[in-house]
Structure 1
Amino acid sequence: MIDSLKKKLIVSCQAWPGTPFYGDPRLICAMAESAYNGGAGGIRANGEKDILEIKKNVPLPVIGIYKLPDKRGVTVITPDFQSAKKLADAGSDIIAIDASYEARPNLEELHELIHQIKTKLGIPVMADISNLEEAIRAEKCGADIVATTMAGYTPYTTKTDGPDLDLIESIVKKVKIPVFGEGRFSKPEEVNEAINDRGAHSVVIGTSITAPWEITKRFVRAI
């Protein structure tokens, strides 16, 4: 299934509080259907309600995430096994977790969560990381995929204007598992470079496709 995503575009279909799509799984599903009609190879979605609706209507693999507070009260991508199980029950084909040092500084806890998801739920794990060291650590802990989702969003990484293509390339050279580019992709040529020049297995795009208010802002700023 992971091989089927090679050189494919994955569209992150999510909404957040205060935006028109938030809270209605049918609208999120419409995003996913639109992505499918446009040729996307996979979907990334947040929470079991949205994933259930998407799986009923869209014949694509779904990367499930669950943005919830962890035991510290900090919002983390899929903070524990219970949230991962809900994603599995909803039909997720891959479960993504935050594998950054900021979210999961404890190596044993990261290893245990990945192990539980893979053995008890039988689902591959995508580790969202922010730098090369976290990618190597995630692979050692058993992750099946690493994604640059958190690059530029942790206190110890620099936020590049566009996707961190150099990070993608450096990770590809150091790990054996697939590397997914994610974060600040907005142009087709960036996707082309990530996959065909830098070695990314796939690319995930969210805001630049599924947030029309942000797309509108870019054009307004140009005026």
Structure 2
Amino acid sequence: MERLDLGALRGGLIVSVQAPEASPMRHPEVIAAMAEASLRNGAVGVRLESPEHIGAVRRRCPEALIIGLWKRTFPGSSVYITPRWQEIRAVWAAGADVVAIDATARSRPDGESLEALVKRAGEELGAPLMADIDSVANGLRAAALGCAWVGTTLYGYTEATSGDSPPALDLLQPLRQQLPPSVALICEGGIASAPAAVDAVAKGADLVVVGTAITGVDLQVQAYGRALEDQRRRQAASSA
């Protein structure tokens, strides 16, 4: 598929267009508008959560490169990014070009294995997968199983990396050195500025995913609000 030509995509920006559950920004048409604005201004693709949002963007932007996922939680497992076969199939059917899945070493709901899911996605759907990983070892394993893309999405968000903070810049060079050239390496998580995105590419990433810093209206406003409130409290305490 032309949209997945790594040579043409390399060095590009993918915008993660997502919103929290309770946010008014989560409406499918709002998500689609933000996705279109991102693509019009130079993004090479978008990363979307839920079949509903994937479908809305596919209808509005039929030529867009869409990385799709579905966040769902189940008892007994901390895996939440497209955790089961049902979610993989639904994301693909909604119009994603690449399906992002948790590819860490954690146990999955229903006892499904990563190996079985990757195999089934390839054989039954022909769906390219993006492995959201938290370590070099898990990235290499995902590629060996057949994942076409490897992203540092879950670095700092798993039990094994809870003491680490994204972006996962230290993972990029060893992954790029050991991954097959045909496997796309994506830096995702914690990229908060254009210079940081450039740095990630310089360190070996083929593509950079940026979300909160561009489309995270809720979280960005909350951060500004907290900072200003803290300043008001400091001023009040100093004048007391």
**TM exceeding 0.5:** yes
Aligned residues: 219
Distance, in Å, in 1 between the alignment partners of 2:214 and 2:195 is: 15
Deviations 1:111-150 (A, max 9, x none): 1101111121111110000011111111121111110000
Matches within 5 A, 1:1-223: 1-3=4-6, 4-22=8-26, 24-58=27-61, 59-70=63-74, 72=76, 74=78, 76-104=80-108, 109-157=113-161, 158-160=163-165, 162-176=166-180, 177-195=183-201, 197-220=202-225, 221=227
Residue equivalent to 2:234: none
Runs of 5+ unmatched residues, structure 1: none
More helix by share: 2
Change (3 A) 1:25 1:108: closer
1:166 alignment partner, SS class = helix
Unaligned 5+ residue runs, structure 2? 232-240
Structure-2 separation of matches of 1:115 and 1:82: 14
Look up the SS of the partner of 2:191 in the other structure. Answer: coil
Max radius of gyration: which structure? 2
The CA distance in 1 between the partners of 2:82 and 2:65, in whole Å, is: 18
CA contact (8 A) 1:183 1:205 kept: yes
Q: Distance in 1 between matches of 2:172 and 2:124?
A: 30
**Does the 8 Å CA contact 2:19/2:218 hold for their aligned counterparts?**
no
Residue by residue over 1:143-202, the C-alpha shift from the partner in whole angstroms, topping out at 9 and shown as x without a partner, is 111100000001211332x5121112221122112210000100111111111x211010
Contact 2:84/2:112 (<8 A) preserved: no
Q: TM-score, normalised by structure 1?
A: 0.90
Dislocated runs of 4+, deviation >4 Å: 217-220
User: Per the alignment, in what secondary structure is the counterpart of residue 69 of structure 1?
Assistant: coil
Do 1:98 and 1:104's aligned partners in 2 also have CA atoms closer than 8 Å? no
User: Pairwise CA RMSD of aligned residues?
Assistant: 2.1
Offset at 1:211? Answer: 1.1
Alignment identity in percent? 32
What is the CA–CA distance in structure 2 between the aligned matches of 1:102 and 1:186, rounded to whole Å? 28
